Structure 1
Amino acid sequence: MSDPLKLASEFPSADYASWRKLAEEALKGAPFEKKLVTNTLDGFAVQPIYTSDDQDDATRLIHEVLNATVEPRETVTGWDIRQLHTHPDPKATNAAILEDLENGATSVTLKLDAAARNGREISSAEVGVDGIAIHCLADLDAALEDVYTNLATIGLDAGAAGVPAAVLLAAHIANSEGADEAAPAFNMDPIGTLAATGNLPCGAQDAVDHAANVAVELIDLFPLATAISVNGAPYYNAGATDGQELACLLASGVTYLRALTNTGMAVDQAAGAMVFNVAIGTDFFAGIAKLRALRMMWSRILSASGAEDATITINAVSAEMAMTKVDPWVNMLRTTVTSFAAGLGGADSVTCLPYDHLIGLPDGFARRIARNTQLILQEESNVHRVIDPAGGSWFIENLTKELAKTAWSKFQSLEKSGGILSALANGSLKTEIETIRNAREKRLSTRRDPLTGVSEFPNITEAKVECETPDLEAIVADAKCRQTKFDGTVGTTLASMIEAARNGATIGHMFTDLYGTSASTRIGALPAHRLAESYEALRKRSDAHKAKTGTFPQVFLANLGKVAQHTARASFARNFFEAGGVEAISNNGFADADGVANAFAESGAKIAVICGSDKQYAEMATDVAKALKSKGASLVYLAGNPGDARSDYEASGIDEFVFVGADVLGICGTALDHLLGAQGEK
């Protein structure tokens, strides 16, 4: 009996040449390379389609390496779901931690406040600012009360005070049940701190060496721990490309590896003492490829260093650069993408930031959404069940290869010029990243890179998300009550520092004893930027005007003819101006110039944008523009690219044109300047 299900067997087999011919016919003369090939900021091209012909020995090797460096147990347990905590009150943090761990999170990161991160005492005005007020062992004990540190990894984010904070955590865990089974992430990272803040309490290389020496003792005490964090987030959040971040991760990792092995630690043990913290943006496939490329390149470095085990530990975190303050609900989608990419890319732990992370202190709902995003990916989508699920995909394999080639070249350049510390100190890395940041800004300004809810589909009337405002005075008073007077010496060994912490030594006290107050490092920091910040600055001006006057700055849509004739460009114009905080006043359209002008005058608006079809523009635009100017319009825009008619339109009184590819930030900024005048704070 013949098979009745022939499916595609009756069709001719497809090949790239046939597809390319059909694609070029569909383009009708438009250049293939310009329309269908994507050129990345890293400098390589992404083709619209890949086939088995694009597979080579290099791409096959990628999957083999990843298979060899991923722990099979992770396909059973899944990655570690890590929750970030920043509430300034240790007691409130404790309640939140317990809630998270009881409901699906498997580990936590404690971000210390600005005072502790800079080694300052409880008297500092930075206590409770941007983190938890943990300054002594009693504070940490309060934050981790009833938390089983042998079951849940506790990570730290302590900035320049990485060593004193690690001492507090070591002292706490050493007093806990099952201390020998604990796997804390101490996350000492002087290189990342220097990049992000521009400050270290001593010489940069001295800080690296000191962290390495303490790391050796921490690993001796807690064999399952990681002591050093190799953090790529400061570079990515400053505007770096994926390739630049990878290069900085490799250069930082090699610097730490040298420092650790210089202490006498075996290279395998040194590599195991490190965790790579990688920022994942909303380019889904690039996020997968970035983690795969990192795993492959670090394996190569370890192999060259004589390591027998090429395993790498990766923590992936939602990139702050990709998150927004306006329309923050869309952040739920963004962090779903980042977490999904991290899972498919093989991250060992994932930190999904709450949707309101940039606005204030996340509440229970925001944290629940963050952890449930990962739980759904694991428990319902089974993302973790396969080692390297992207393996064999011709596109992702080639993207991984190109990204690895680019990053490796940049890494070699960094090493040749003296390493990551030298590149930070002389400002060359900052300049390189700023160049990319400026290129990003141009793409954002013209909406070539769209931001949903910000530059596309904005909702300027949305209700603002409200976050808790903590009582810092009460938190500081509570913290002072927990502190005890310490008159002893801190010492330089881990054992002596732990003993000092148990006797009441604060982070500030240890920081001063360890580093003094004078031999510090100061360089130009890598300022953090977000993709949405320029649009948000315009929206902030608009919101301030609304708060003062009761209305947003407005533009009148001078719609021509019937709805079907003007709706496309009217919708475009609304989207265009409201992205910059200028509210659009719409209508059902007008048959003639007088009707448009009279309605404009009644609206009370100062500026107008003409919206209609090309045919209507040819017949009416000049008359409408003159009529609008006669009724007091101080600025008149036209929605559409004027082409050869620009000079005629400008002669009739049209001041500017809004169209696909126009400078949204520039045009909306000028409109706000015009509408707000002296009231418009910048």
Structure 2
Amino acid sequence: MTDPLKLASEFPAADYASWRQLAESGLKGASFDKKLVTRMLDGFAMQPLYTNDDQDDAARLIHQILCAAVDAEDAASGWDIRQLHAYPDPKSVNAAILDDLENGATSVLLRLDAAARAGAGITSGDVGIDGIAIHCLADLDCALDDVYTNLATIAMDAGAAAIPTAALLAARLEKDAENSADADDDFASDAAPAFNIDPIGTLAATGCLPVSADDAIQQAADIAADLIDRFPHATAITVNGAPFYNAGATDGQELACLLAGGVTYLRALTNTGMMIDQAAGAIAFNVAVGTDFFAGIAKLRALRLMWSRVLSASGVDDATITINAVSAEMALSKVDPWVNMLRTTVTSFAAGLGGADSVICLPYDHLIGLPDGFARRIARNTQLILQEESNVHRVIDPAGGSWFIENLTRELASNAWGRFQSLEAKGGIIKALADGSLQKEISEIWQTRESRVATRRDPLTGVSEFPNITEAKVTCDTPDLATIRKEAKARQTGFKDVIGISLEGLITAAKSGATIAQMYEALYGKAAGITIDPLPTHRLSESFETLRDRADAHKASTSKFPQIFLANLGPVAKHTARAMFARNFFEGGGIEAITNNGFADASEAAKAFGESGAKIAVICGSDPQYADMAADVAKALKQAGANRIYLAGHPGDAKADYEAAGIDDFIFIGADVLAICETALSHLGVK
């Protein structure tokens, strides 16, 4: 009798060889390696199918190692739902923070404005630009009014002014402790702020530091050690991988940079006298997660695996790690921003499954302007649904045991470890940034990404695929900067005392009304800093959006989009596939397609083209129709005034004949959409 619990026992056992045979027969002569094997940007290949035979001893240990590096109690409670706030007005930020915390968010990240991040004063023209106008403790108090800072993690993004900002936050936390309603409450032991001091990330992103890199790192370590003494559960140092990934880096490159930065900070912290395990606990890693779902999971698992190896080699038994994940800006788009909801769902899901301790799901309109309550709500609820309805956080390392993900984790970790060793052998990450070699390496990868996007090998929904050029534009709030700056000036106390440069001295000054700019001046004065070429911030959609901007500007001045005429051949059934392809192709560049039900001959097509007012045409039909009609239609369109003619489909051996008939270019799967659309816009006179 067949065992009823042995599923599919009546069927013959499957093996890889038989599966491979079936797969190759289905390919009908096409190359298995070209069609089914994925070449990752990091240089290794991923197979379409893995079995237990692909698991070596190292891969089998990954899940075990990762489980040992996770606190089961913390995992069961779910990751931290962290919300980014960057509205210029601290009062508006306070209302938004309270709304977020009351409706599912568990922590917040406060991004200071460009003036504060650069250590500039309240008179700077950058006050209120790209962040919150927080320049003194009164500003921070305004933003955090009624926020229980011992219950919700407060994280800061302050760039080069991270240390003065850390003093502000520490001063606020100490004030909260003094005002605690429960006299027996040990506030400092409950608070878990994220001070996010990161001179390496600041140097990479902005290209400058107020002091030398070595001095900045050691100063960060000294302050971090004092912060951890005051707030044992804090993370003082952050290693930020986002500047590298958003510049175009591969997952392996970002991981190598994260590891190199982590080791650099670990050395600096132990140089202050901190124990190695305490130093490791003071460091957090900020990882940018893109829309490659499985790669995102594997990236976080690989980071945990590699950091565990670093700490194990350093003599740390408890190899835990704090990972903060954020939706990668590189993956988001300005056009059709509603698709960003899907993208950030993928990034948040991958981060959660990969084991992130906190996740920032960027609002769908993040690239357009300041998000409103609806955008923040969707960002919160994306994670709440993943946690409360999908329960993805209730399993430690839920991806463990998947042969595919275990192999992807192993390959990615191995690749990144090799890159990390190369960075270390060349003098470390600071030297690689200073001599420009790291920027050059990442730039080369970005060029590869651009090429893949341009040819739609990596399609972008709503951008290069299925664009909607008539979509209603998403608008965001425009803050009243004049009023915000006036109120910010009114909150300042006119502090003029001497500021000590120890953490104690900075906190004392902050409590007395010192501004970030004053503490920045006290810390750095006129010290000789460092300047390098910063990493650029890229987005996969940026080149398409440039074309769309040109087309939108043309419409604004002429009341209509630049247009291309579809010379459809024959009945709808014959031409519809390539007509839809052509429309999709050119509207990716902002060019509106004038369509029709098809033409029986060249004269009909030419007549309709002339009446349309278009200057460019694309012939759409089937291959047999092209053989019979394409040349005549092209000649007729030229006579009707077409200054450029395209044919939808690969020309094959007939290319020379088509060109002789007047066809200028061809659009097909794999063609460079960006280059062709840019040329078309130029022929249409679009500036």
Which category describes the TM-score, using the shorter chain as reference length? over 0.9
- Looking at structure 1, the residues matched to 685 and 163 of structure 2 have their Cα atoms a distance apart, in angstroms, of 50
Measured in 1, the distance between the counterparts of 2:312 and 2:76 equals 28
1:393 aligns with 2:402: yes
Residue matched to 1:145:
145
Q: What SS does the corresponding residue of 2:96 show, helix, strand or coil? A: helix
Deviations 1:457-493 (A, max 9, x none): 0000000000000000000000000001111111121
Residue aligned with 1:350, SS: strand
1:132 maps to a residue whose letter is I
Classify the secondary structure of the residue corresponding to 1:328.
coil
1:609 and 2:624 correspond = no
2:494 pairs with 1:485:
yes
> Which amino acid is 1:526 matched to?
L
Specify the alignment match of 2:560 in structure 1.
Answer: 551
Q: Which string of whole-angstrom CA distances, capped at 9 and with x for unpartnered residues, describes residues 222-251 of structure 1?
A: 111110001000000000000000000000
Aligned length: 678
Name 1:254's counterpart in structure 2.
Answer: 263
Note if 1:16 corresponds to 2:16.
yes
Per the TM alignment, residue 11 of structure 1 is displaced from its structure 2 partner at its CA by 2.1
1:583 to 572, 577, 592: 592
Is the deviation greater in 33-42 or in 617-626? 33-42
What fraction of aligned residue pairs are identical, expressed as a percent? 74
- Shifted more, 545-554 versus 101-110: the winner is 545-554
Residue 49 of structure 2 corresponds to residue 49 of structure 1? yes
* Contact 1:160–1:190 (CA under 8 A) maintained in structure 2: yes
Q: What is the match of residue 448 of structure 2? A: 439
**2:183 aligned residue:** none
How many angstroms apart in 2 are the aligned matches of 1:635 and 1:316? 48
TM-score normalised by L of structure 2: 0.98
Q: What is the TM-score when the length of structure 1 is the normalising length?
A: 0.98
1:472 — aligned with what? 481
Distance (Å, rounded) in 2 between the aligned partners of 1:129 and 1:447: 35
SS of the residue aligned with 2:9? helix
Please say which of residues 3-12 and 375-384 is displaced more in the overlay: 3-12
Query: Does structure 2 retain, via aligned residues, the 8 Å contact 1:596–1:628?
Result: yes
Q: 2:681 maps to what in 1?
A: 672
Question: Which amino acid in 2 is paired with 1:386?
Answer: V
Match of 1:206 among 211, 215, 218: 215
Query: Equivalents in 2 of 1:227, 1:91: separation in Å?
Result: 26
In the alignment, what sits opposite 2:319? 310
Instruction: From the superposition, tell whether residues 558 and 391 of structure 1 become closer, same or farther in structure 2 (CA, over 3 Å).
Output: same
Aligned counterpart, 2:184? none
Q: Distance in 1 between matches of 2:245 and 2:469?
A: 29
Distance in structure 2 (CA, Å) of the matches to 1:48 and 1:567:
33
Q: How does 1:177-256 map to 2 (within 5 A)?
A: 177=180, 178-256=187-265
Q: Distance in 1 between matches of 2:456 and 2:152?
A: 43
- Separation in 2, partners of 1:223, 1:43: 41
Q: Which amino acid aligns with 1:387?
A: I
Letter in 1 for 2:442: I
- 1:517 Cα deviation (Å)? 2.9
C-alpha deviation, 1:180, in angstroms? 3.7
Aligned to 1:451: 460
Q: Is this contact kept in 1: 2:76–2:395, CA < 8 A?
A: no
User: What letter is aligned with 1:397?
Assistant: E
In structure 1, what residue type is equivalent to 2:325?
Answer: A
**Pair 1:516 & 2:516 matched:** no
Q: Distance in 2 between matches of 1:65 and 1:6?
A: 31
Q: Distance in 2 between matches of 1:512 and 1:520?
A: 13
The question of whether the paired residues in 1 share the 8 Å contact of 2:269 and 2:279 is answered with yes
SS of residue matched to 2:87: coil
**What amino acid is the match of 1:413?**
S
Q: Which residue of 2 aligns with 1:365?
A: 374
Contact 1:83–1:109 (Cα < 8 Å) also in 2: yes
2:574 corresponds to: 565
Offset at 1:14? 0.8
Q: Report if the CA contact (8 A) 1:277-1:314 is conserved.
A: yes
Counterpart AA for 1:108: V
CA distance in 2, matches of 1:308, 1:3: 45
Alpha carbons 1:344, 1:383 under 8 Å: kept? yes
Q: Please state how far the C-alpha of 1:15 moved relative to its aligned partner.
A: 0.5
Letter in 1 for 2:102: E
Distance 1:455 1:98, change over 3 A: same
Residues 1:531 and 2:548 aligned together: no
The answer to whether the 8 A contact 2:188-2:232 is kept is no
2: CA distance between counterparts of 1:659 and 1:402? 34
User: Which residue is 1:331 aligned to?
Assistant: 340
1:165 aligned onto 2:174: no
Letter in 1 for 2:40: T
Question: Matched residue of 1:676: which SS?
Answer: coil
Q: Please state how far the C-alpha of 1:390 moved relative to its aligned partner.
A: 0.6
Distance 1:361 1:487 in 2: 35
TM-fit CA distance, 1:303: 0.8
Counterparts of 1:622-661 in structure 2, within 5 Å, are: 622-661=631-670
Amino acid at match of 1:190: P
CA contact (8 A) 2:86 2:110 kept: yes
Alpha-carbon distance, 1:518 to partner:
4.4
Residue 32 of structure 1 is matched in structure 2 by 32
Structure 1 residue 413 corresponds to structure 2 residue 413: no
Structure 1 position 676, deviation (Å): 2.3
State the shift of 1:4 in Å.
7.7
**Given the superposition, is the C-alpha separation of residues 2 and 257 from structure 1 closer, same or farther in structure 2, using an over 3 Å criterion?**
closer
Alpha carbons 1:74, 1:384 under 8 Å: kept: no
Output the amino acid matched with 1:555: I
Contact preservation (8 Å) 2:188, 2:230: no
Moved more, 462-471 or 306-315: 306-315
Residues 189-235 of structure 1 deviation map (CA, whole Å, 9 limit, x = unaligned): 00000000101001011101001000011011111111000100000
CA drift at 1:6: 8.2
Question: CA offsets per residue over residues 4-45 of structure 1, 9 Å max, x none?
Answer: 898632322110011111111222222111111111110000
| Inter-partner Cα distance in structure 1 for 2:72 and 2:431 | 39
CA distance in 1, matches of 2:77, 2:48: 36
CA distance in 2 between counterparts of 1:7 and 1:598 reads 66
Residues 36 and 239 of structure 1: CA distance in aligned 2, closer, same or farther (over 3 Å): same
Distance 2:7 2:630 in 1: 55
Change (3 A) 1:402 1:5: closer
Residues 167-195 of structure 1, C-alpha deviation per residue, up to 9 Å, x if partnerless?
00000011003344211000000000000
CA pair 550-217 structure 1, distance change in 2 beyond 3 A = same
- Separation in structure 2 between the aligned mates of residue 26 and residue 466 of structure 1, nearest angstrom: 49
Instruction: Give the match for residue 343 of structure 1.
Output: 352
Alpha-carbon distance in 2 for matches of 1:3, 1:124:
78
Shift of 1:61: 1.0
| Unaligned ranges ≥5, structure 2 | 181-186
For 2:522, the aligned partner's letter is: D
Q: Distance in 2 between matches of 1:384 and 1:535?
A: 37
